[in-house]
Amino acid sequence: MPRIVRPAAYGTPDVLTVVEVPAPHPAPDGVVVEVRAAGVNPIDWKLYSGDFHAVDDDLKDSAGITASLPSLGLECAGVVTAVGADVTGVRVGDEVIVYPVTAAYADYVTAPATSVLAKPTGLGWAEAGSLMLTGTTAFHALHAAGVAAGDTVLVHGGAGGVGLMGVQLAAAAGATVIATASERNHALLRELGATPVVYGPGLGDRVRAAAPRGVDAAVDFAGTDEALDVSLELVADRTRIASITGSPRRAAAGIKLLGYGPGQDPGTEIRNAARAHLVERAASGALRVVVDTTFPLTEAAKAHEVGIAGHAPGKLVLIP
Ligand SMILES: NC(=O)c1ccc[n+]([C@@H]2O[C@H](COP(=O)([O-])OP(=O)(O)OC[C@H]3O[C@@H](n4cnc5c(N)ncnc54)[C@H](OP(=O)(O)O)[C@@H]3O)[C@@H](O)[C@H]2O)c1
Which residues are within 8 A (CB) of 131 and not within 5 positions of it... i.e. 6 or more apart? 39, 75, 97, 123, 278, 279, 282, 287, 289
pLDDT at residue 86 tops 60: yes
> Which of 8-12, 74-78, 130-134, 289-293 is the least confident region?
8-12
- pLDDT score at 65: 53
- pLDDT score at 134: 98
- pLDDT score at 313: 86
How far from chain centre, in Å, is Cα 318?
Answer: 14
Question: For atom 4 of ligand 1, which residue has the closest CA?
Answer: 244
User: Helix (H, G, I), strand (E, B), or coil: what is residue 7?
Assistant: strand
Q: Which of 199, 247, 260 has most ligand 1 atoms within 8 Å of its beta carbon, as the pocket-test mutant?
A: 199
Grade residue 80 by pLDDT with cuts at 50, 70 and 90: very high
> Which of 60-69, 128-137, 161-170 is the least confident region?
60-69
Is there an atom of ligand 1 within 6 Å of 156 CB?
yes
Interval 210-217 mean pLDDT: 97
Q: What is the CATH number of domain 3-131+289-319?
A: 3.90.180.10
Is there an atom of ligand 1 within 6 Å of 180 CB?
yes
Percent of residues, the chain, with pLDDT higher than 90: 88
- pLDDT score at 51: 74
> Which of 68-82, 84-98, 293-307 is the least confident region?
68-82
> Which of 139-143, 179-183, 192-196, 259-263 is the least confident region?
259-263
Q: Do domains 3-131+289-319 and 135-257 have the same CATH topology?
A: yes
Grade residue 262 by pLDDT with cuts at 50, 70 and 90: confident
- pLDDT score at 73: 97
**113 CA distance to ligand 1 centroid (A)?**
30
- CB atoms inside a 10 Å sphere around CB 302: 15
Separation between Cα atoms, residue 203 and residue 229, nearest integer Å: 10
Separation between Cα atoms, residue 226 and residue 34, nearest integer Å: 42
Report yes or no: 35 and 76 within 8 Å, Cβ to Cβ: yes
Is there an atom of ligand 1 within 6 Å of 163 CB?
yes
Is there an atom of ligand 1 within 6 Å of 42 CB?
yes
Q: Where are the domains of the chain?
A: 3-131+289-319, 135-257
Which residues are within 8 A (CB) of 227 and not within 5 positions of it... i.e. 6 or more apart? 156, 157, 180, 199, 218, 220, 243
Question: For atom 12 of ligand 1, which residue has the closest CA?
Answer: 221
Radius of gyration of the chain (CA): 20
Torsion-angle region of residue 188: left (phi > 0), alpha (psi -120 to 50) or beta? alpha
Question: For atom 15 of ligand 1, which residue has the closest CA?
Answer: 161
Residue count of the chain: 320
* More confident of the two residues 243 and 57: 243
Interval 298-305 mean pLDDT: 98
Mean residue pLDDT across the chain = 94
* More confident of the two residues 312 and 255: 255
Interval 125-140 mean pLDDT: 98
Is there an atom of ligand 1 within 6 Å of 222 CB?
yes
Please write the tens of the pLDDT for every residue from 38-57.
Answer: 999 999 999 898 776 544 44
- pLDDT score at 240: 98
- pLDDT score at 197: 98
Is there an atom of ligand 1 within 6 Å of 181 CB?
yes
Is there an atom of ligand 1 within 6 Å of 298 CB?
no
Which residues are within 8 A (CB) of 49 and not within 5 positions of it... i.e. 6 or more apart? 10, 11, 12
- pLDDT score at 305: 98
Is there an atom of ligand 1 within 6 Å of 100 CB?
no
Q: Could you name the CATH architecture of 135-257? A: Alpha-Beta Complex (3.90)
- For the stretch 259-297, what's the b/e string if a residue is b when 16 or more beta carbons lie within 10 angstroms of its beta carbon? beeeebeebeebbeebbeebbebbbeeebbbbbbbbbeb
- pLDDT score at 70: 84
Q: Which of 44, 51, 167, 182 has most ligand 1 atoms within 8 Å of its beta carbon, as the pocket-test mutant?
A: 182
